[in-house]
Every structure is written in C-alpha cells, then in structure tokens.
Amino acid sequence: MADALLELRNISKSFPGVQALDDVSFSVCPGEVHALLGENGAGKSTLIKIMSGAYPSDKGEIWWKGQRIVYNDPLHALELGIGAIYQEFNLVPQLNVAQNILLGQFPTTRWGSVDNAELHRQASDALKQFDFHLDTRLLVSQLNIAQQQIVEIAKALIRDLRILIMDEPTAALNNVEIAHLFEVIRKLKARGVAIVYISHRLREIFEIADTITVLKDGKLVGTKALSEVTEDSLITMMVGRTLADRYPPKDTVQSEIILKVEHLSLDGALNDVSLQVRKGEILGVAGLEGQGQRDLVRAITGAVRTTSGAITVDGERQAIHSPHDAIRSGIAYIPDDRKNEGLVLMRSVRENIALPSLFARLRSLFMVDEPNEQRFVRQLVDRLGIKASSPMQVTRNLSGGNQQKVVVAKWLGTNPKVMVVAEPTRGIDVGSKSEIHHLMRELARQGVGILMVSSELPEILGMSDRIVVMSRGQIVAEMSGAEATEEAIMSAATRGISSTVSQSVFASASSG
C-alpha cells in the first residue's frame, strides 16, 4: 500500500517448540483503526511486539513511511512514534501514578533534581486531556486493574504517537470506561494517529474498527474492510467453522439449596448480602463494576474476612477464614485477577492444573497417582483447547488467553459442590468461550451450584438461571434468567434500590 505508515512484510517468528508467526504481512495507515483478531495463541501479541520493537523477528521486513527500517533497540520504535500497551501491564508498582505516566522523562528543577510539582501537573494534565480522573499521588500497587489500564493508556498518550497499539485494552474496563476509551480512540484517529487494536469482543470490533486482520495458528487468514465482514463470517475466519449455539441450553434447577449466604457484611464494601444458590443452578451476579461483586466472591471464598454473616454449604454451616477453608468446604474459586491470584506462573501447565486436586488427594493418600494425573490434565487441556508446546511448558510463556484457560481448567477439575467464578471468559476467544460455557452448564447438570460474576451482559443473560444485581454493596434486584433483559439489568444497576424494575422483579420472583 502506498500510504501505509507501518508495513510488516513476511514476518516469521518462532519460540522453542512453537512457530508463533509464519510469513505474516500486515500494514496500517494514518487515521485507521486496524483490528487484529484470532484465537488464543494465534500470534497477535507476538506480532505487535515485533511492530513495537520488543521482539526481533526471525524473518521478514519492517517498512516505515515507505522505507525499510531495522530497530536497533526497544526504544527506537517509540522514538518513531510507535507506542504499545501490552496485555501484561508494564507498570512499576512501587511508583505513583505520575511517576509511571512520565517514566523516563521526569521534569527536573534547575538543580537537576526531579520537579515533583511539575511531574504531578503534567501527569494530571495528561489524564484530564482525555477526561480520566485518578489521583496522581496513588501508588500503582494501590490501584485496581481498571485504574492500572488507565495509567497505561495515559502513559502512551502523553507521548506524541503516530501509531498506538493496544492489546486487549478493554479486558478490565467497565462499559462506561470502554465508551470513554472509544472516545479517546476517535480523537486520536481524527488527529491522524493509526490504531492497532486487539480484542476478543466482537461487538467492540464492529463499533470501532475500519479494517480487520485475522491470524490463525501463526498464519495470516486475511485482511478485510469491516464493511466486508459479518459477525458470523469473522468467527468462521478465526475459528475455521461456524458456532451454532454459542450458549448451552438452560436446564431444570433442583430444589435443594447448595450455597446459602446470610447477612454478609464487609466494612465499606458489602452491606447485609444474602443469597442462595440451588444445586444445578447458575446464579449470575450483575452490576456496574466495583459495586461489591468482587468483595462478595472474595468473602465467600475466604480471600477476605467479613465483619459479619454466615455461609452454609450443602446444609452445613462453614467457618471460612482462608482460601484453604473454602476448598475444604467444597467451594472452588476462579478469580478475575488470574495473574496474581490464579496461577503459579513459573510452574508448568500440568502442575497448575493438578494443584488444587492434588491438595485433596495428598490429604487422603499422601501420594500422587501419576498416570491418573496425566490423563486428568490431558483431558482438560484437550477440552479447553489449551495451546502449549507440552503440559510441561511453563505457564508464563503461554499466550494471555491460554493462561486464563489454565486457571479455569484447574478449578473445573476439582469436583466442587459450589463454583464461584469471576469473569470466567475474560480474554478468551469466541470458540473456547463457548466451550467453557458448555463445561459450566455440564457441571451444573451434575449438581454443582455456580455463582458467576460477569460484567458482560450477554454472558449473564446467556448463562444465568437467575440473576441478582448489585449496587453499592447491596443486592438491589433479582430476576429470573428467562425474563431478564439487558435494559432491566442496567436500569436496576444504575437506579439502585428505589428502582421500580427491581420491585416488580422481586414480586415476580417470589410469586414464581
């Protein structure tokens, strides 16, 4: 293309045991939003790391404004105006927000020391310019994932970029923040900045992209204008087949209560929350982000101590003061912050998957049944399509989505009575997403009670037998999965307790 800003030609890249990219060409023009799509492990992150100079390629050429270039160091691309926000954040937890945003370019005083007042002024200007609100004095270690994402974005925006590359920037953002990010993208686009955008959420692609490129198993499937594709044709390009039923059919719920939560309170975060999950039931917990959903699941699974309340599993009152207590009570937990809470990154796929099941077995037998463990791990790896060169591969080297699948697999294998899952398919590709949904439904059919927190409304609607909506640490509405609509959930979530919607659904829930 004549007016391409950046052009990658015939790029190949391999890691030990895997050809991550095989002869891939890709280009991006000024003012274009170019989405990069494909299944987990397809090679998307690897390709953008080559674009941004983080990795060298084994073969192929990079052209910048019509001239061949070779990056001589990781900062070279940034100097040209190519900035990237990676899937795994690149922030320094011990530094504050301002220091992270201006990392490497701190303003100095006449005497050569860091000018702190100026540092905070520049950082808050950058945040304000794009309408982000965040105290620049907070340490990054104090921020939640969404706030960290905002710091990453601001950090990229204060540099005068020609190309901004974003690897799943919305994975941790709520709907309001996503809408906000899209405003930022439109502003940049209007200034002629090119955007390379990776996401597994097709809705976003149709909202923001001009062009799409699909990778599969490290190979280029094709590049098309957005107007040339439909959701179905995109899925076919990515997965190689169509997906008939994206959500499994719902089933009858048994009458027996498996999880009972009564009057749970947690200082400032949860206020007298009571709920029940029946055997075979999937209870969806919806709401705007940060309304106590995370505290609720952490309280049930022993990750935080509650100030009051009671938890009963299968008729027995449980004292859950630690994650260990939760496992012993038959509660499995798939956390949303999988990097920190869910995985031992330096250990193999096999060890991670077998870990929680090992606990149970070690307790009873004091020995590990090797062939059985291998079979067990292999089944889960196959079922979820975990892409690893071998079960012995260190999880740190898996693609982002494949790491997530390992966390999900590890808990699906524990035969729990209750599963508490937070954002079960965040960062997971469309095909595997459907596979995880089917597995969850299968577990429910076997009698497991599932409590699922999700910020994706289609997932809440597609999966839940019953839905509760949280607002400001309380449950403000309850509705049956069959009756619920996105509008009803949203209006309950935003209007809170006084909502007439919530009252009418409370009434219909108790009469049905």
Ligand X SMILES: Nc1ncnc2c1ncn2[C@@H]1O[C@H](COP(=O)(O)OP(=O)(O)OP(=O)(O)O)[C@@H](O)[C@H]1O
Footprint on this chain of ligand X (rule: CB under 6 A):
15, 18, 20, 38, 40-46, 87, 387, 397-402
Applying CB under 5 A, the residues found at the interface with Mg ion are 45, 87, 399-400
**C-beta neighbour count of 266 within 10 angstroms:** 20
Q: Kindly give, in sequence order, each residue whose CB lies less than 8 Å from that of residue 323, ignoring residues fewer than 6 positions away.
A: 301, 302, 303, 333
Which of residues 46 and 301 has its CB atom nearest to ligand X in the complex?
46
Rounded least distance, CB 402 to ligand X, Å = 5
Using only C-alpha atoms, the chain has a radius of gyration, in whole angstroms, of 24
Q: Mapping DSSP to helix (H, G, I), strand (E, B) and coil, where does residue 446 land?
A: coil
Rounded least distance, CB 179 to Mg ion, Å = 23
d(CA 190, CA 320): 53
Half-sphere exposure of 420 (CA within 13 A, CB side): 28
Q: Mapping DSSP to helix (H, G, I), strand (E, B) and coil, where does residue 453 land?
A: strand
Half-sphere exposure of 68 (CA within 13 A, CB side): 3
Question: How many residues would you count in the chain?
Answer: 512
Rounded least distance, CB 340 to ligand X, Å = 18
Contact 453, 485 (CB under 8 A): no
Rounded least distance, CB 215 to Mg ion, Å = 11
Q: Running DSSP on this structure, what letter comes out for residue 282?
A: E
Residue 503 contact among ligand X, Mg ion, none, beta carbon within 5 to 8 Å by kind:
none
Rounded least distance, CB 335 to ligand X, Å = 18
d(CA 78, CA 317): 57
Cα separation values, 435 from 64, 244, 398, Å: 41, 12, 19
Contact 477, 502 (CB under 8 A): yes
d(CA 40, CA 45): 10
Residue 37, H or E segment: strand 33-37
Q: Which two tokens stand for residue 492?
A: 């309950």
Which of residues 66 and 222 has its CB atom nearest to ligand X in the complex?
222
**Residue with CB nearest ligand X?**
401
Which of residues 219 and 361 has its CB atom nearest to ligand X in the complex?
219
Residue 410 contact among ligand X, Mg ion, none, beta carbon within 5 to 8 Å by kind:
none
Residue 433 contact among ligand X, Mg ion, none, beta carbon within 5 to 8 Å by kind:
none
Rounded least distance, CB 87 to Mg ion, Å = 5
Which of residues 222 and 268 has its CB atom nearest to ligand X in the complex?
222
Which of residues 87 and 301 has its CB atom nearest to Mg ion in the complex?
87
Residue 212 contact among ligand X, Mg ion, none, beta carbon within 5 to 8 Å by kind:
none
Which of residues 171 and 311 has its CB atom nearest to ligand X in the complex?
171
Q: Which two tokens stand for residue 320?
A: 């859950």
Rounded least distance, CB 201 to ligand X, Å = 12
Rounded least distance, CB 11 to ligand X, Å = 12
Q: Running DSSP on this structure, what letter comes out for residue 175?
A: H
Q: Running DSSP on this structure, what letter comes out for residue 342?
A: I
Rounded least distance, CB 268 to Mg ion, Å = 35
Which of residues 270 and 428 has its CB atom nearest to Mg ion in the complex?
428
Which of residues 19 and 254 has its CB atom nearest to ligand X in the complex?
19
d(CA 311, CA 353): 27
Q: Regarding beta strands 163-167 and 194-198, do their DSSP bridges make them parallel or antiparallel, or are they unpaired?
A: parallel
Q: Running DSSP on this structure, what letter comes out for residue 393?
A: S
Which of residues 88 and 125 has its CB atom nearest to Mg ion in the complex?
88
